[in-house]
Amino acid sequence: MLNRFGKNGGRRVQQHASAGGPAAPAVPSVPPAPPVSSTVEGVVSAEAMRSTIKVHTNSVAPSYMRPWTKMEGTSCTGSGFAIESPAGAGRLGRYLITNSHVVRDEQLLQVQRHDRPGKWVARLLVEGIQCDLALLTVDDEHFWEDLPLQQVTDALPMLQHIVTAVGYPVGGENLSVTRGVVSRIDLLDYTFVEHATAERLLVMQIDAAINPGNSGGPVFHDGRVIGVAFAGLEEADNIGYVIPMSVVRLFLQTFHSRGSFGQLPSLGVSFQTTENKMLRRSLHLDQDSRVGLLVASVSPLMPAAKVISPGDVVTKLDGLELAEDGTVQAMPTLRLPWDYLVTRRPCHEIFELEIWREGQQINTRIESMPEPRLVPFHDGVDASPSYVIVGGLVFLPLSLPLVDAGYFDNVVETMSTGIVLGKIGAHQTTADQNVVVLASILESELTISYEGACAGRILKQFNGKEVTNLSSFAAAVHASSAKPFLTFIFEGDRVAVIETARSKVVEVRVARAAHHLQLVLLARRHHCALVLP
């Protein structure tokens, strides 16, 4: 099992008190470091180690199952390092870079230098959840005094090259250095989405030990930083994953041009390989070329839907041949899955495609963009904990964060679980479409027997009208205040009926009993909708 070492797999303890911002420490006299022999491969300089910092995070995550509350506060430590933003990424600047999962849902960030005592309060500037990167800064100028800044390059070491990981893993308080080799270069979904396939980025696998607390630390080769440590494989020893600097550069460029990172790009096209000879023959493809991918589906709201159809065969993308096994010649000695060509560039780029359709070659162009999914994948990117409560019935938009929070624990039938899983990975067919589910039930006399019959199910209709998203459903409930009953029809033809006149009284009483009345009454001030007919 892959584990990101920081917030969800790092040095996390229960939060008992919040630490205030520390005063700027006095700058001690630091004796010069002894010289490091440049002939010893894998040895990093004292300057490189001084650029590495320790990150202390106090955080409070949202609750998807009870979105009017927050989860209990936690704390963790991770690693990071100081960089100078490259000229190609916009204005030059000094930043601290770490992993997004180290600082996720931060309430207080503090950083600590290797060569100075004390901590400094830091600010989060931007995070890219899908690329697992975050930029921090420190307002106190004392922090930056004599702090070496690492250069951002596109250097990518080859297989078997020696690399050195630097950071603050478990097992001690001081800086740790481990050494290994590059063992693989591949693509990986940095968010480790389950139940579906998400966008992937270039990744390096190394056999240097990467442990909890190493997340966000630099990885060096030949005196240069070549990546950011971010994950390890729990079932195996010394298998770590590193974000290459080309991904860091893309993150910085996107931040400087747009002020945020957002989502990774997609073409909105899913392919089937054409390795089967009979399949290739039926598509009139050259049996010897080993080129071409069959279009299986196209997201209807993506630009590709206007020029590509299922059954087409794409033979080239941006001038590179798409092999029958789904790979491209990404580098002279390296083949990678075709989607590397898309995610190595920012959103809204134009791609040239060569298509084989009914024996004819067609050349076309399509724009990449974030794919509009029926079920959002990432908290803070395309998902947020919004909700509607009607008479004790708690409705939420289906999302993978909701599934991860224990949504399936409330699904009482295997059939319902299968239906829900079938929605994950599906495309939106209309703008703002989402799946509304009855995530939980607050017990009252109005909800007797509904727990077993309806909990966890997808809401199909409300008062005779199809439910297409949470916002329109909330509006429909508001508009039904004059109706005697509120009727909900769920998948599997399960029905729940609530008397309109009584639902408001029960709603407030349930909220008060749960000690959430203040949060419920303030819900409208936040990104959630509380419905009291």
Half-sphere exposure for 182 (CA within 13 Å, toward CB): 22
Distance between CA atoms of residues 109 and 21, nearest Å: 9
Four-CA torsion 247, 250, 255, 256, nearest 10 degrees: 140
pLDDT band at 533 (very low <50, low <70, confident <90, very high): very low
Q: C-alpha 99: how far from its chain's center?
A: 11
Provide the phi-psi class of 267: left if phi over 0, else alpha when psi is between -120 and 50, else beta: alpha
Helix (H, G, I), strand (E, B) or coil at 416: helix
Q: Which two tokens stand for residue 419?
A: 């239906």
Give the other-Cβ count within 10 Å of 364's Cβ: 15
Number of other residues whose CB lies within 10 A of the CB of residue 94: 13
Q: Return the pLDDT at 28.
A: 40
Q: Where are the alpha helices (DSSP H) in 292-431?
A: 340-343, 400-404, 414-423
pLDDT-based confidence at residue 519 (cuts at 50, 70, 90): very low
Task: Give me the pLDDT at residue 531, please.
Answer: 44
pLDDT at 25 exceeding the cut of 50: no
Terminal Cα-to-Cα distance of the chain (whole angstroms): 46
Alpha-carbon torsion (351, 131, 381, 81), positive or negative = negative
More confident of the two residues 153 and 242: 242
Query: Is pLDDT of 279 > 80?
Result: yes
Model pTM?
A: 0.85
Q: How far apart, in whole angstroms, are the C-alpha atoms of residue 135 and residue 406?
A: 31
| Contact residues for 299 (Cβ-Cβ < 8 A; gap 6+) | 266, 268, 269, 305, 371, 372, 427, 428
Alpha carbon distance 476, 482 (integer Å): 12
In the chain the domains, ranked by start, together with CATH numbers, are 2-20+41-188+202-258 (2.40.10.120), 269-333+351-366 (2.30.42.10), 388-525 (3.20.190.20)
**Per-residue confidence (pLDDT) for residue 532, from 0 to 100:** 38
Interatomic CA distance for residues 530 and 496, integer angstroms: 19
> Could you tell me the maximum CA-CA distance found in the chain, to the nearest angstrom?
84
Between 88 and 482, name the one with better pLDDT: 482
Per-residue pLDDT at 389 exceeds 80: yes
Lowest-confidence pick of 85-99, 239-253, 459-473: 85-99
> pLDDT digits over 441-474, tens only?
888 888 999 988 898 899 999 999 999 999 899 8
Angle at 314 between CA 309 and CA 317, to 5 degrees: 120
Do residues 488 and 459 lie in contact, with contact meaning Cβ atoms separated by under 8 Å?
yes
Pairing between β-strand 218-221 and β-strand 224-233 as defined by DSSP bridges: antiparallel
- Residue 65 in this model has a pLDDT that exceeds 70: yes
Alpha helices (H) along 104-174? 141-144
CA 438, distance to chain mean position in Å, is 25
In whole angstroms, what separates CA 14 from the centre of its chain?
24
Instruction: Tell me: pLDDT of 511 over 70.
Output: no
Q: Which of 411 and 268 is assigned the larger pLDDT? A: 268
- The whole-angstrom separation of Cα 179 and Cα 209 is 7
pLDDT digits (tens, 9 = 90+) for 318-361: 999 999 999 999 989 999 999 999 999 999 999 999 999 988 99
Determine the residue type at 347.
Answer: C
Average pLDDT in the chain = 85
Question: 225 by DSSP, 3-state: which?
Answer: strand
As a whole number, mean pLDDT of residues 161-172 equals 93
Q: Pick from 268, 291, 456: which is nearest to 366 by CA?
A: 268
**CA-closest candidate to residue 250, choices 365, 347, 124, 123:** 347
Q: What is the pLDDT of residue 522?
A: 38
pLDDT for residue 507? 53
B/e letters for 422-458, b = 16+ CB within 10 Å, e = fewer, are ebbbebbeeeebbbbbbbbbbebebbeebeeebbbbb
Residues near 365 by Cβ (< 8 Å), separated by ≥ 6? 307, 350, 351, 352, 353
Residues 247, 298: Cα–Cα separation, whole Å: 27
Instruction: Provide Rg for the chain, Cα atoms.
Output: 26
| Averaged pLDDT for residues 73-101 | 85
Q: Can you read off the two tokens belonging to residue 347?
A: 């959103």
Looking at per-residue confidence, does 485 or 411 come out higher?
485
So which residues are the catalytic ones? 101, 132, 215
Tens of pLDDT, residues 104-125: 999 999 999 999 999 999 999 9
Give the confidence band of 7 by pLDDT, cuts at 50, 70, 90: very low
Describe the chain by its helix, strand, coil percentages, rounded to 5. 20, 35, 45
- Round to whole Å and give the CA distance between 180 and 170: 19
Provide the pLDDT for residue 288.
87
